[in-house]
Chain A
Amino acid sequence: MSEAGRLLAVFRESTATADAIDALHETGVQDDQIVVMTGVPYPERAFGRHVEWLRLPHIVLAGAAGGLIFGLFLAVITPHLYRLDIGGHPTVSFAPAAIITFVFTMMATIISTFLGVLWEMNFPEFGTKFYHRLVTDGYLAVLVEFEAPLENRVRLILETHGGEHIERPERQTL
């Protein structure tokens, strides 16, 4: 396999970006070789790319289930382990157990959502990465990875679709 090359270009407009990505696909660049960076969340299919399948909902559900079990353990099991008998009161009663179980389920759901999304995004990641600071200023950056012989064609596609600052990207400390 020949050596891989990279180019990064910034665009001013989303339609031109989407057209450039279509043209790159036609040239043989795979979807997972293209990274689009924006300062604004564009709709998922705005650039005609595959929408990534997320494990986040499953992580959240697993977290919720864990919270439910932990809540039940605290509310139902531990009162039997540490008995506190009060005249006329059951050791475990429904209403307090429901409240404790609910709260711990929600707490675990929240924490698993947060940790899950960080895990999915591979955060925190403080090393050096390919990036262009114009992204913050409203530009759309397209980072393309390709096999070395395709470089001229990729550059031409980026240029003809209005790409600016087309260059071999440098890793930046983020």
Chain B
Amino acid sequence: MSDQPEPSGGKPTPPESLEPSEQVRGRLLLDQRTDREIDEAVLRPMFETGPRFWILVGILGAIVAWGIYAWIYQIYWGMGVAGINRPVYWGLYIATFVFWVGISHAGTMISAVLRLLKADWRRPITRGAEAMTSFALMMAGLYPLIHLGRVWKFYWMIPYPNNRFMWPNFQSPLMWDMVAIFTYLIGSTLYLYLALIPDMAMARDHTDGWRYKLYRGMALGWRGTQGEWHKLHRALSIFSVVIIPVFLSVHSIVSWDFAVTIQPRWHSTIFAPYFVIGAVYSGLAALAAILVIVRRTMRLQEFLRSEHFDALGKLVMVAGMGWIYFWFSGFIVEWYGNDPVIRELIHEEISGGLAPFFWLQMTANVLPVLFLAFRRIRTNPAFLLALALLINVGMYTERALIVFGNLERNYLPFNWGTYRPTWVEVSVIAMTFAGFILLYTLFSRIVPYVPVWEIKEGRLRYSLRRIGRLLVPTAAEIE
């Protein structure tokens, strides 16, 4: 801490003004917390699993079991039990697939982009964001299998010499999709695990029994030597750079599933950036919602503080503005073109049968941007949770409108139709939502939710410096 007084123009500085505010102290975790206390503060909530936790796990497990039953039912009876039919061949399954891929985008945004930008507020939330990415991609990855119907034929998409003389058609966007999502899942999971190794060693040193065995296995023999830290840092930096183009490409490729067709309202050059910004918007909002819930249930108020929600809220707001801009850019060109089928689709959305969904989408995506302009709302966990959930309702509705809303009309008027999801589709979709929450809940009790070594590194970076009558935090360039 620098205590060199600055010239004060002859006017003495009141000594009490040199005391850093509670907010500053809290932000820097400077308030006399030892490393051991930080370790314990992160580990303790992992070990406390009361009856409410197990009730939640039981309910989620039951929903997952019901969804698996529905999926088996669909496999047995065929895709006819789903609501998809001519001309709506892609229904809620594909809409939910797009939604989950979108949710996965927050992890990389928070972890890789903010790591490269050296934004320190990322530190306590990176692991939660990375885990969200991996679990959301696992859920997304189920949908191509579910939608395939004959799931046992999946291996036909794997390129290997075989006696059928069949080879995957790499000109098909569905093949691009599969390899892109698989790449992103591998990348985000390895990225999550790599940053986890030092904290696994920390947990190993503080536990016994089955947890010790698990953490020991996952720590791989980590000791924290300078060489290990140096190599880990270098690897994380490379990962941060490499994962960003992957993250951009994944949702672009998902959007090209739609845009390369000549289906009205899909055949658009703006679809890729529109999908990416929508993904970032919904992903960041989902992360904000999860952080609010985890903060309360795991009592991590000391680590997940108002300035984190403030910064995250600002990011959500900017992404929301981007979404509005891209939505309007796509809409105005289609509306001005006045193509008869597109005009019919726009009328159907704005004042026809799809109007409730359209107005829900607009309200749920636009209103939060206005509210998030206010710091008081951004830093209020309850408000932020409500807005984040609203945004995700809006984004899910948007995905649904894009997928089956636009398929109901096409260039062949005799081939127009409507879509109603069945109990099977609803059950399978509920399975993935419950599965995501279940995986995340279990993860938060097995793995240190807050990246302890990153917190400690952040603490090392900061000191207080006197400027005028203020003590302000200053960051050292140590990364």
Question: Which residues on A are within 8 Å of B, measured CB to CB?
Answer: 35-44, 46-47, 49, 51-52, 54, 56-57, 60, 74-75, 78-79, 81-82, 84, 89, 93, 96-97, 99-100, 102-104, 106-107, 109-111, 113-114, 116-118, 120-121, 123-127, 129, 131, 133, 135-138, 174
A75 shortest CB reach to chain B, Å: 5
B176 in contact (CB, < 8 A):
yes
A54 contacts which chain B residues (CB < 8 A)?
230-231, 234
Q: Across the A-B interface, give the 6 residue pairs with the lowest CB-CB distance, nearest first.
A: A138-B35, A82-B167, A125-B221, A117-B235, A124-B220, A41-B229
Asked whether, in the complex, the Cβ of A129 is within 8 Å of the Cβ of B223, the reply is: yes
Cα distance A84–B172 in the bound complex, in angstroms: 12
A95 shortest CB reach to chain B, Å: 9
Q: Which of A37, A78, A96, A103 contacts B224 (CB 8 A)?
A: A37
B198 contacts which chain A residues (CB < 8 A)?
39
B226 in contact (CB, < 8 A):
yes
Asked whether, in the complex, the Cβ of B176 is within 8 Å of the Cβ of A100, the reply is: yes
B170 in contact (CB, < 8 A):
yes
Asked whether, in the complex, the Cβ of A84 is within 8 Å of the Cβ of B233, the reply is: no
A120 contacts which chain B residues (CB < 8 A)?
231
B36 contacts which chain A residues (CB < 8 A)?
136-138
Cα distance A124–B253 in the bound complex, in angstroms: 36
Cα distance A85–B223 in the bound complex, in angstroms: 57
Asked whether, in the complex, the Cβ of A124 is within 8 Å of the Cβ of B224, the reply is: no
Asked whether, in the complex, the Cβ of A104 is within 8 Å of the Cβ of B171, the reply is: no
Cα distance A44–B167 in the bound complex, in angstroms: 50
B357 shortest CB reach to chain A, Å: 32
Asked whether, in the complex, the Cβ of B167 is within 8 Å of the Cβ of A81, the reply is: yes
A115 shortest CB reach to chain B, Å: 9
Asked whether, in the complex, the Cβ of B183 is within 8 Å of the Cβ of A110, the reply is: yes
Asked whether, in the complex, the Cβ of B221 is within 8 Å of the Cβ of A129, the reply is: yes
B44 shortest CB reach to chain A, Å: 15
Q: Which of A42, A43, A56 contacts B235 (CB 8 A)?
A: A56
Interface string of B155-177 (1 = CB under 8 A from A): 00001000001110111100110
- Beyond A44-B226, A123-B221, A136-B201, 13 additional contacts (C-beta under 8 Å) are A36-B226, A44-B230, A54-B231, A78-B167, A79-B171, A93-B171, A104-B179, A104-B183, A110-B186, A118-B220, A136-B202, A174-B204, A174-B222
B194 contacts which chain A residues (CB < 8 A)?
114, 117
User: Which of chain B's residues has its CB closest to A131's CB?
Assistant: B223
Asked whether, in the complex, the Cβ of A174 is within 8 Å of the Cβ of B245, the reply is: no
User: Which of chain A's residues has its CB closest to B233's CB?
Assistant: A41
Question: Which residues on B are within 8 Å of A, measured CB to CB?
Answer: 34-36, 39, 159, 165-167, 169-172, 175-176, 179-180, 182-183, 186-187, 190, 194, 198, 201-202, 204-206, 216-217, 219-235, 238-239, 242-243, 245-246, 249, 253, 453, 456-457, 460, 478
Q: Which of B182, B225, B249, B460 contacts A40 (CB 8 A)?
A: B460
Asked whether, in the complex, the Cβ of A117 is within 8 Å of the Cβ of B224, the reply is: no
Asked whether, in the complex, the Cβ of A113 is within 8 Å of the Cβ of B238, the reply is: yes
| Contacts across chains A and B counted by CB atoms under 8 Å | 176
A148 shortest CB reach to chain B, Å: 24
A171 shortest CB reach to chain B, Å: 12
Q: Given A110-B246, A121-B228, does the pair A40, B234 have CB atoms closer than 8 Å?
A: no
Asked whether, in the complex, the Cβ of B229 is within 8 Å of the Cβ of A42, the reply is: yes
Cα distance A168–B386 in the bound complex, in angstroms: 58
Cα distance A103–B35 in the bound complex, in angstroms: 41
A126 contacts which chain B residues (CB < 8 A)?
216-217, 220-221
Asked whether, in the complex, the Cβ of A37 is within 8 Å of the Cβ of B225, the reply is: yes
A103 contacts which chain B residues (CB < 8 A)?
176, 179-180, 183, 246, 249, 253
A102 contacts which chain B residues (CB < 8 A)?
245, 249
Asked whether, in the complex, the Cβ of B170 is within 8 Å of the Cβ of A75, the reply is: yes
Q: Which of B187, B216, B253 contacts A110 (CB 8 A)?
A: B187
Q: Given A110-B246, A174-B223, does the pair A121, B231 have CB atoms closer than 8 Å?
A: yes
Asked whether, in the complex, the Cβ of A135 is within 8 Å of the Cβ of B224, the reply is: yes
A46, A118, A136, most chain B CB atoms within 10 A: A136
Q: Given A56-B238, A137-B34, does the pair A110, B221 have CB atoms closer than 8 Å?
A: no
- 17 contacts across the A-B interface (CB closer than 8 A): A38-B229, A39-B198, A39-B202, A39-B224, A39-B456, A52-B231, A54-B230, A78-B159, A93-B171, A97-B170, A110-B186, A113-B238, A117-B232, A120-B231, A125-B221, A131-B223, A138-B35
B187, B232, B233, most chain A CB atoms within 10 A: B187
A81 contacts which chain B residues (CB < 8 A)?
167
B258 shortest CB reach to chain A, Å: 15
A78 contacts which chain B residues (CB < 8 A)?
159, 167, 170
Asked whether, in the complex, the Cβ of A106 is within 8 Å of the Cβ of B170, the reply is: no
